[in-house]
Amino acid sequence: MRPLRSVRLARLQTAADEDLMELVRDGEARAFEVVFDRHAAAAFSLAYRICGSRARAEEVVQEAFLSLWRSGARYDRARGSVRAWILSVVHNRGIDALRRELAKEGRDIPDEQLAERRAAGEGTETLAERHDDARRVRSALTDLPPDQRRVIELAYFGGFTHSEIARMLELAPGTVKGRMRLGLTKLRLSLSAEGLVP
């Protein structure tokens, strides 16, 4: 006979994220552990992509998950999946960390070289794809016209506003907004055809 704790843990492993968050709200650390194990690698990869520094990404992920643990009661399932919630918190913290770093460097807007380094997503130690979905999203992004992909990456992974991107790339702000819209719309059509977004 398996000990009671193992049985409970096995049940947690198969529970839906949303149900686990109900337990997290009640301070159930083991439920949070399961949520962490499901999403921490994606969170770290996102933070690494934004910060461009392993150490900074580790800090961001650690702080983000501790904040999620302490604020589990604020998760509202009506506003989206647990994964989307977690990744949005990591995204916001990653962008904040990036801006703090830029502030320390005394730059209002980084030079283009720095921005491009971040936007390029140089990955060392990249894992073999564990999820086909990730490969398909990356492929859809890569298939966009380069000028559209670039503005989307600078905004999302670099945390730049359209005005900052316009100055960086010497474009009219309206052109940047237009490229964002065209790029995201094309991306949505591709991902929708793949069944990855509604």
Partner 1 sequence: MSEGEHMSEMTNCGGDVAAYALDALEPAEAEAFRRHLEQCEICRDELEALQGTVGALPMAAPQHPLPKHVRRRVMRTIHQESRVARAQSRPAWRRSPLRPVVAAAGAALVLAGAVVAGVELSGTSSPSRVIHAQVIGASGAAELRVSGARGELIVHHLTPPPPGHIYEVWLKSGQAAPVPASVLFGVSASGDADVGLPRSLRGVSQVMVSPEPDGGTPAPTTKPVIVVQLT
Q: Which of residues 98-157 bind partner 1 (CB under 8 A)?
A: 99-100, 102-103, 106-108, 121, 123, 125-127, 129-131, 133-134, 137-138, 141, 152, 155-157
* Residues from 52 through 91 that contact partner 1 (CB under 8 A): 54, 58, 61-63, 65-67, 69-71, 73, 80, 84, 87-91
Could you tell me which stretch among 1-9, 10-18, 33-41, 111-119 binds partner 1 (CB under 8 A)? 33-41
Under the binding rule (CB under 8 A), the answer on residue 22 touching partner 1 is no
Cα 53 to Cα 51: distance, rounded to the nearest angstrom: 5
Q: Are 61 and 97 in contact (CB under 8 A)?
A: no
Rank residues 15 and 121 by Cβ distance to partner 1 and give the closer one. 121
Cα 141 to Cα 197: distance, rounded to the nearest angstrom: 14
Rounded-to-10 torsion of CA 100, 101, 105, 107: -60
Under the binding rule (CB under 8 A), the answer on residue 177 touching partner 1 is yes
